[in-house]
A and B are shown apart, each in its own frame.
Chain A
């Protein structure tokens, strides 16, 4: 039972060949590049959604921050589509792997920090000490702010991993419980099945929200540094 629970999180292999790269690349074929003035319905809906999200996400940024528009939109599309595809039964979700999420979080966070230190060195250093701090607390607060800065990429990655993994585990557990209860007590199995449906709806929302939160936090770190 224990091994079955975590079996869906092992990197998938096909005849000894790891196919995880194919699975990561797969969502990109669901977003065709619009190459006409008036596209088909799918491309038009996707274009409209991307314009809506980018309008709200990039409104807080100045000129320098808006150069990251491509990166931020790609990020939210990738994480959102990967999370949603992971809700299909028996599929592998790359964003359940901490390695993948750290691989996204660390370079993006480092990119914002390096940008901040290059273009606004004094303001970036000033972030280590909040305004109005009493004099005796300054050394301790500088240490705390430094730690909180270095924890940002780890928190980004672990938040996404934990949310998606926990959701998938819960669905697996409750689905297993429903199956087992069907022979024992059909009424309880029905209640468990209703809980499973509600949980799946919640996981749909969590998949989109986590993509939005990840991208929003990267956008906020960028805003602080530009």
Chain B
């Protein structure tokens, strides 16, 4: 596994230098992203649309759940307040 050029940086947090992170990123791009680039950008466009749709559905369900919980808590508090 070769990297085309090295980036040398100062030691950062927990021993992970900027150079090491940059090398990891370069290796990731060369070995993972470039082989699947054509798939992710062209073939699986519909899947991204589906993931967006699913994320939107999850967001709507979570918002509705939060609202109903807040409403329930409010109605409970007002019932206790009346008593």
Which A residues are closer than 8 A to B by beta carbons? 67-68, 70-71, 102-103, 106-115, 118
Contacts and interface: CB of A to CB of B under 8 A. Distances in A.
A162 B73 CA distance: 34
A104 to B, nearest CB: 10
Contact of B54 (A68, A71, A102, A113): A102
B1 to A, nearest CB: 11
B74 to A, nearest CB: 28
B54 A111 contact: no
Contacts of A106: 50, 53-54, 57
**Looking at chain A's contact residues, is the secondary structure mostly helix, strand, loop, or mixed?**
helix
Interface of B: 36, 39, 43-51, 53-54, 57
24 contacts: A70-B36, A70-B39, A103-B54, A106-B50, A106-B53, A106-B54, A107-B47, A107-B48, A107-B51, A107-B54, A108-B47, A110-B46, A110-B49, A110-B50, A111-B44, A111-B45, A111-B46, A111-B47, A111-B50, A112-B46, A113-B46, A114-B45, A114-B46, A118-B46
- Which of A68, A107, A109, A112 has the largest count of B CB atoms less than 10 A from its CB? A107
B53 A71 contact: no
B69 to A, nearest CB: 19
A68 B54 CA distance: 20
Q: Top 3 nearest A-B pairs by Cβ distance?
A: A110-B50, A114-B46, A107-B50
B43 A110 contact: no
A70 B43 CA distance: 11
A109 B50 contact: yes
A102 B54 CA distance: 9
Nearest to A70: B39
B64 to A, nearest CB: 16
A4 B74 CA distance: 34
B32 to A, nearest CB: 11
A71 B47 CA distance: 11
Contacts of B50: 106-111, 114
A159 B38 CA distance: 32
Q: Which of B50, B51, B54 has the most CB of A within 10 A?
A: B50
Contact of A110 (B36, B39, B53): B53
A68 B36 CA distance: 12
Contacts of B43: 67-68, 71
Given A107-B50, A118-B46, 20 more contacts: A68-B43, A70-B36, A70-B39, A71-B43, A102-B54, A106-B50, A107-B47, A107-B51, A108-B47, A109-B50, A110-B49, A110-B50, A110-B54, A111-B44, A111-B47, A111-B50, A112-B46, A113-B46, A114-B45, A114-B46
B39 A67 contact: yes
Contacts of A108: 47, 50
